[in-house]
Structure 1
Amino acid sequence: MVFKLGLLFGFFPIVVQGQGGETRQEVLDRMQPYTGEHHAGVDVTTLKGKVMCGYQGWFSAKGDGSGRGWVHYGTGHRGHNGHKVFEPGHCTIDLWPDVRELAADEKFATRFHHPNGDTAYVFSSYKRNTVLRHFKWMKEYKIDGVFLQRFGSALRQAKSLHHRNVVTANVQAGANLHGRSWAMMYDLSGLQPGEIDKLVIEDWKQLIDRMKITGDKSYQRHKGKPVVAVWGVGFSDDRKYTLSECEKLVNFLKTDKRYGGNAVMLGVPTHWRNLSRDSVQDEKLHRILSQADIVSPWTVGRYRTPQQAKLHAESMVRPDIDWVKKNRLDYLPVVFPGFSWQNLQKARGRGAKLDQIPRLGGQFLWSQARSFKQAGAEMLYVAMFDEIDEGTAIFKCSNKPPQGESRFLTYQGFPSDHYLWLTGKVGSLLRNEIPATEQVPPRNGR
């Protein structure tokens, strides 16, 4: 069964997938361009001076209308309906979202309970008003925008493709209503040989032809071109797709007569320049990079303290910037607030420490931003806005998470908006609006 919901504020109606399911072609046929309101805000013509966040948008909840159950909440222990199980002892998140501001139809009850016995609720990225609220927070805390993650592996099946399309429409609405920017980021992780061509290239054609995303007034551009990011190029882990396939994708996004003309950003390993450690040892990677526009090395987990972040800025970021300048490219380094994936690793049958890379009240994030700016960075990527699986989220999270068999992090007594506020301050630091103090700037005299 498929039915439509009329939406407020002049948004186009979207079709909600019923339990009966639908074909992949039916999902494609319902992709439409954004035609809602637009409010001017951040300058969408350049990435210079901007702090952009990664936006996963991959959370779904039982009862949210997507028909997917507890995706990115539950574990692989399947329930009677084939969906993942989300209950104490079986979960994949290390931070619990603060849902106090969400309306009743945006909150989804779980089997978890807070210390006072109340039922614990979570959100779904499938719900438009929730995503709009996230962009409202970005505006309030002066965060410029997001790179929306579009996972290649999610493009295979109708139900997951439908979810990604709905989230894309939600993000477009949020960015336009609240004067933020957004750009698409393809994550190639998990793709098999031939799927970059079959899935990613074909998907970009659909996004241009059907949703016309680069014509969206809120879509981020750089040097006169729409920005398209491709994450997962050149990593030394066991990836099935090849550098040659990545090169074909870059060429397509750059030079295709109908679908090209884009500013291509490549998400690459930390040691891309030296072709060592987490990078493939293949000079072809440098050739591919020289054809792109922006280089963005992935650094999450590569250092663990403010002191190590400073050393990384000197030993890696500064010479990276020298390399990209010589090749007439731009550089978007990644910073992150901390890291923790104990519950996710437990679900995979592995062990991990809770609070593996401590946030230190924001000092860890601030030290990275300060050090990277001093090394020459002119733009920053914050990983991530909503990543509670790996404990890197900056959006509002609870200081009173559920108790029981599963353990969760908190923001250590800092307000739930602390990292939204701090990310906004990182933007001010980047644009020389506030001094580059060694310590986190005070907030309300604190």
Structure 2
Amino acid sequence: MSISGRAVIASAPAGTAAAGGVLGSSQAGAAPAPRGRAQAAPAASPPGDVVGRTSVGYQGWFACKGDGSPIDRWGNRRHDSGRPPSIGNNTIKTWPDMREYTRSFPTAYPNLRNAQPAVLFSSHDQRTADTHFRWMRENNCDTAALQRFNPVGGEGPMRDVYAKRNAKRNAKPVVRIRGFGFADDRRPFAPPEYLDVINWFKAQGCYVIGGVPTH
């Protein structure tokens, strides 16, 4: 492969790390030091850490029939995933600029207004990931976070493939868990329950980041 996530990110972790306002060298909103007492400077982030890095969310869930992916269907682009996207079988909100992709898959749409065929990319293809990570590198993005929802749902096998491609932090898989600290009826969890989740992932050898509300 020409470019991989590791090549793009260099010393920073990739795959499942994400920016979330959780990590930092100092605590936002902390009380100021009393007058007359020196305030300790925040510790510098070690090389390769996720602190201070620019991270982007990465879905990696677009599949095409015939792309060799575990699901082998048109994922996230159609009502009927067994048929190619078309005017009558469509959930596409925006059309990707396909000029820099090296592999594409034909749909059942008519040609575009520029007379080019209506083709799409597959996230399963390594060349697609290479293109995306090259764009990230060219635009100063340091890490990419693989966003994963229901691991046992239809997209689970696609996400498993991407999870195996992640880079790591201190040789540990990086996991960012979204949803800590929300106080509403749908998430009636107390801090000890969140701590159980964190400790379970740490026991599996993971580097854990918590995703919390902005407030």
TM-score for both structures, normalised by structure 1: 0.34
Alpha-carbon distance, 1:120 to partner? 0.9
Q: Distance in 2 between matches of 1:238 and 1:129?
A: 40
Alpha-carbon distance, 1:68 to partner? 3.1
Corresponding residue of 1:47: 50
Higher strand share: 1
Find 1:250's aligned residue among 186, 198, 203. 198
Q: Distance in 2 between matches of 1:107 and 1:39?
A: 23
1:235/1:65 Cα in 2 relative to 1: closer, same or farther (>3 Å)? farther
- Whether 1:110 aligns to 2:107 is yes
**What is the identity, as a one-letter code, of the residue corresponding to 1:64?**
D
Q: Distance in 1 between matches of 2:101 and 2:184?
A: 41
- Whether 1:156 aligns to 2:152 is yes
- Whether 1:135 aligns to 2:133 is yes
1:41/1:261 Cα in 2 relative to 1: closer, same or farther (>3 Å)? closer
**What is the identity, as a one-letter code, of the residue corresponding to 1:49?**
G
Alpha-carbon distance, 1:107 to partner? 0.2
Q: Distance in 2 between matches of 1:40 and 1:132?
A: 12
Q: Distance in 2 between matches of 1:86 and 1:40?
A: 34
Corresponding residue of 1:219: 168
Q: Distance in 1 between matches of 2:185 and 2:86?
A: 32
Secondary structure at 2:107 match in 1: strand
Corresponding residue of 1:73: 77
Q: State, as a whole percentage, how many aligned pairs show the same letter.
A: 32
Alpha-carbon distance, 1:73 to partner? 0.8
Q: Distance in 1 between matches of 2:183 and 2:105?
A: 37
Q: Distance in 2 between matches of 1:253 and 1:231?
A: 13
Aligned 8 A contact 1:102 1:130 in 2: yes
Secondary structure at 1:150 match in 2: coil
Corresponding residue of 1:147: 145
**What is the identity, as a one-letter code, of the residue corresponding to 2:168?**
Y
Alignment deviations for residues 110-160 of structure 1 (CA, whole Å, 9 cap, x no partner): 122311343211111111111112112222222111111122x2x326x74
Higher helix share: 1
Alignment deviations for residues 42-85 of structure 1 (CA, whole Å, 9 cap, x no partner): 4453223211000000110122122431111112xx3xxx7266
Secondary structure at 1:131 match in 2: helix
Alignment deviations for residues 2-24 of structure 1 (CA, whole Å, 9 cap, x no partner): xxxxxx68x9xxxxxxxxxxxxx
Corresponding residue of 2:30: none
Alignment deviations for residues 355-405 of structure 1 (CA, whole Å, 9 cap, x no partner): xxxxxxxxxxxxxxxxxxxxxxxxxxxxxxxxxxxxxxxxxxxxxxxxxxx
Secondary structure at 1:91 match in 2: coil
Find 1:231's aligned residue among 178, 183, 186. 178
Secondary structure at 1:119 match in 2: coil
Secondary structure at 1:111 match in 2: coil
1:65/1:43 Cα in 2 relative to 1: closer, same or farther (>3 Å)? closer
Q: Distance in 1 between matches of 2:66 and 2:172?
A: 40
Gaps of 5+ in 1: 1-7, 12-36, 173-217, 270-296, 298-319, 321-446
Aligned 8 A contact 2:84 2:108 in 1: no
Find 1:168's aligned residue among 163, 169, 172. 163
Corresponding residue of 2:18: none
1:60/1:261 Cα in 2 relative to 1: closer, same or farther (>3 Å)? closer
Q: What is the aligned length?
A: 175
1:125/1:237 Cα in 2 relative to 1: closer, same or farther (>3 Å)? farther
Q: What's the Cα RMSD here? A: 3.4
1:114/1:235 Cα in 2 relative to 1: closer, same or farther (>3 Å)? farther
Corresponding residue of 1:328: none
1:261/1:118 Cα in 2 relative to 1: closer, same or farther (>3 Å)? closer
1:96/1:70 Cα in 2 relative to 1: closer, same or farther (>3 Å)? same
Q: Distance in 1 between matches of 2:185 and 2:106?
A: 38
Q: Distance in 2 between matches of 1:146 and 1:163?
A: 17
Aligned 8 A contact 1:61 1:123 in 2: yes
Secondary structure at 1:129 match in 2: helix
1:252/1:93 Cα in 2 relative to 1: closer, same or farther (>3 Å)? same
Q: Distance in 2 between matches of 1:168 and 1:238?
A: 28
Alpha-carbon distance, 1:227 to partner? 3.8
TM-score for both structures, normalised by structure 2: 0.65
Q: Distance in 2 between matches of 1:235 and 1:88?
A: 42
Corresponding residue of 1:23: none
**What is the identity, as a one-letter code, of the residue corresponding to 2:60?**
G
Find 1:59's aligned residue among 46, 59, 62. 62
